[in-house]
Amino acid sequence: MSNSGYDAAGVEYDKKGVEISQKSYPGSKFYHLGVDDHPALVLNAEGQAFDAVVSTEVIEHLFAPHFLPKFARKILEKDGCLIVSTPYHGYFKNPALSLFNKWDRYHTALWHGGHVKFWSRKTLTQLLEQNEFKVVAFHGAG
């Protein structure tokens, strides 16, 4: 986003991820923070809040996902936009996983990290609305 002319900053909980990002995009700002940290350091170049927060494929990895919209709210302008992407586990996917015996591969507990929460439109809407966001739209991919 910075390369496209936007005043952007990246937030990453994993210190190694911050290092990789800084090497890959040396002109961009990256912060070693989690969503439960205080976001006071994350401001745009003018010291103002942001117009938008984009969280891609993060919320399903959080043990306490309610911190994400709270963090976003603190660094957003009053009418700012929060964009969240997460895998959608629809009602047809679950029977397909069962039918093809893929549950262990898909939901394995034998790796470090991974998905700890699974979201539907209903639950994601509920989380966002509880944190004073208005859900405008859902879009699917794949």
In a domain, residue 138? The reply is: no
Query: Of residues 101 and 114, which shows the higher confidence score?
Result: 101
pLDDT, position 22 = 95
Residue 44 has pLDDT above 70, yes or no: no
Query: What's the helix, strand, coil split of the chain in %, to 5?
Result: 35, 20, 45
pTM metric for this prediction: 0.84
Residue 120 lies in a domain: yes
The model's pLDDT over 5-19, given as tens digits with 9 standing for 90+, comes to 888 899 999 999 999
Q: Which domain holds residue 101?
A: 33-130
Lowest-pLDDT range, 25-29, 85-89, 92-96, 110-114? 110-114
* 14 in any annotated domain: no
Whether the predicted pLDDT of 86 surpasses 60: yes
Within-domain flag for 57: yes
Chain Cα centroid distance, residue 1:
16
- Section 103-130 average pLDDT: 85
* In a domain? residue 65: yes
- Asked, for residue 2, whether it belongs to a domain, the answer is no
Q: Specify whether the CB–CB gap between 51 and 80 falls below 8 A.
A: yes
Residue percentage of the chain with pLDDT more than 90: 56
Inside any domain, residue 3: no
Q: DSSP H helical segments within 38-109, as ranges? A: 67-75, 93-99, 103-106
Count CB-CB contacts under 10 A for residue 49.
Answer: 17
**What CATH number did the domain enclosing 69 receive?**
3.40.50.150
Q: Check pLDDT > 70 for residue 116.
A: yes
Number of domains the chain contains: 1
SS3 75: helix
Report yes or no on 87 lying in a domain: yes
